[in-house]
Amino acid sequence: MYHNPVLLKQSVDDLVTNPDGIYVDCTFGGGGHSREIVSRLSENGKLFAFDQDLDALENKLDDPKFTLINQNFRFLENSLLMYGVSQVDGILADLGVSSHQFDEADRGFSTRSNAPLDMRMNVMQSLDAKKVINEYDEEALADIFYYYGELREARKLARDIVHHRKTKTIETTEDLKKLFSYLPPHKVNKFYAQLFQAIRIEVNQELEVLKEMLVQSYNILKPGGRLVVISYHSLEDRLVKRFLKNGMFEGEPERDIYGNYKKAFELVKSKAIIPDNKEIEENSRARSAKMRTGIKV
C-alpha cells in the first residue's frame, strides 16, 4: 500500500501551467501525483517520473504521455538528456518516505516492526543501516544523530552503541531499540522517530541527494518553469527554503551597491503551504508536510 499523495491538488495546481509542457515527478512512489499531472496534460504533454525503488515499477502508468525512469533523482539531468530532454516546464518532488516502504516490515524503516537493520530506498546499494550502526566510529555516529536526528544526547547514544557492539553485532531494529530501554515511556516514540530518521538520512544520503536535485532542477527548468517541493522535516525544508530564496544552501549571495541580489526563483507564496485538518485526519503522514513553490526567474 502506497500512501495517499500529500497536498495533491495544491501541488499539481502550482505545477501544471501549460498542458502541452514537459514535467517531472521526482518521486513516483505509488503514482498518485503522476496520475493527477498526466490528467492535466494534452496529448502533446509529457511526464517523466523517477523512482529508484524497484517496487514502484509495479505502479507504472499505462499512458503514452508517461515515462518512468528507475533512477535516483540525483541523476535527473543526465537521465532526461538520454530521452533528448534538456529543458522542462515544471518539477515536483514529494520527499516523504512512502507508506509502502514503512509497511514493508523487512525494509527496516518502521520503528514498530522488528526487522533487519536496512533502511535502503535502493536495495541494490551496499550501504545499509546495519553497516552504519556497526561500523561507523563514535564521532561519526554522534554527528549523524545530532545533525540528522536533532538529538541533543547524540554523544551518549553513540557511546552506548559502540560499547554494546564490542560484544555483539546489532542486527535488527529491536536490537537497536533495546539499547535505549532506559528511556521514560513518554519520550520513546519521538526519540525512536528521530533516531530512525537520522540513520535513514545517512543510509540514503538524503540531504546531499536533495541538494543535487535542486541544483539540477534550476539548470533544466525553463525561465518561468516551476519547482514544487513537499518536505517533511526541518532539515529538508531549510535547504529548500534557502535554495528557492537565493539559489544557495549556505552563505550569502553577492549584492550590488544597492543591496540587491539576483534571485533564483520568485516564490508563489511567501509562506509554506501545509495540509488542512481534513487531510491530516485522513492521512496522518501529511501532518508534518510543507510545500514550497518557486518560479524560475
**Bind-site residues:** 31-33, 51, 73, 94, 101
The whole-angstrom separation of Cα 186 and Cα 226 is 42
Name residues whose C-beta falls within 8 Å of residue 296's C-beta, 6 or more positions apart in sequence.
218, 221, 222, 223, 224, 225, 226, 227, 264, 265
The whole-angstrom separation of Cα 260 and Cα 136 is 44
Sheet holding 66-69, edge to edge: 66-69, 46-50, 22-25, 88-94, 221-231, 290-296, 265-267
The whole-angstrom separation of Cα 40 and Cα 115 is 41
CA angle (190, 280, 35) in 5-degree steps: 115
The whole-angstrom separation of Cα 23 and Cα 179 is 46
Residues flagged as binding site for S-adenosyl-L-methionine:
31-33, 51, 73, 94, 101
Strand partners, 90: 23, 226
The whole-angstrom separation of Cα 227 and Cα 106 is 34
